[in-house]
Amino acid sequence: MKWLVFDSDLAGLQFNGPNVADTVIAMTSIGDYQTALIGAEIGDHQEMGQARRDSFSSGRYCVRAAQAELAIPAQEIGRIERAPIWPQGCIGSISHSASVAVAALSTSLTGVGVDIERQGRVTGKIWPKLFTEEETAWLAAAPEFCADLMFSAKEAGYKAIYPLGQRFIGFHEARIELDLARQQFRIKYLGSHPANKLLDAGTGYWHRGQDHVLTIFTLD
């Protein structure tokens, strides 16, 4: 796995993730990157408000950088209900906070999901909507940042599996098992859709820095 970090202020978010070939993580601060847009992305961008425009173009900028690093011709990333449609031969994921955009792209993995969240967003009052009773009990005695981390882990897992099963997964259909010492996590799928059972075989990695938590989930 190779990192492309285009803002030195974000270096604290880079970490030693899985040893996976032909996989790139690209990251930048949110800004106006509309020159990186191609095809239908340009029209999508024009229909958005300014804040959404910047996060959208920043994510696509990261995708273009990852495509170039993997020697993939620059191709637009379509959308169905805001979910990216990846070109044949690669799989990827995009995420952003209010200040950071990140994209993961791979030509060797079955699935990859990335998510970034600013710490402090997931407050106790919304835990019942996001977490199972078992997860909520664990969080009650865990470090404060773990709620943001657990939410981010669910998002990364969903992004990795959705292109395979193309089925919505509720927050209570996935149980996160965090390994704080090794900075890894696993996901146990609690639902009934066969394709989503692949979540059980994946491995997640996490890091926190620059007031954010960053998660990556991979399916071999």
Q: Write down the pLDDT at residue 28.
A: 98
Q: Shortest CA distance to 189 belongs to which of 219, 154, 164? A: 154
| The pair of three-digit structure tokens given for residue 213, joined into one six-digit string | 């938590």
Choose which CATH entry (3.20.20.140, 3.30.70.1400, 1.10.150.20, 3.90.470.20) describes domain 117-219: 3.90.470.20
State how far the Cα of 175 lies from the Cα of 196, in Å rounded to an integer: 13
3-state secondary structure of 23: strand
State how far the Cα of 18 lies from the Cα of 4, in Å rounded to an integer: 15
Which run of H or of E encompasses 62?
A: helix 50-69
pLDDT (tens digit, 0 to 9) for every residue of the chain, 220 residues total? Answer: 999 999 999 999 999 888 899 999 999 999 999 999 999 999 989 999 988 999 999 999 999 999 999 999 999 998 887 788 898 899 999 999 999 999 999 999 999 999 999 999 999 999 999 999 999 999 999 999 999 999 999 999 999 999 888 888 999 999 999 999 999 999 999 999 999 999 999 999 999 999 999 999 999 9
CATH number of 2-115: 3.90.470
State how far the Cα of 218 lies from the Cα of 64, in Å rounded to an integer: 21
Please check whether residue 205 is in contact with residue 184, taking contact to mean a CB–CB distance below 8 angstroms: yes
Fold: same for 2-115 and 117-219: yes
Q: Which residue has the tokens 């979540």?
A: 199
User: Could you state, in order of their start, the residue ranges of all structural domains in the chain?
Assistant: 2-115, 117-219
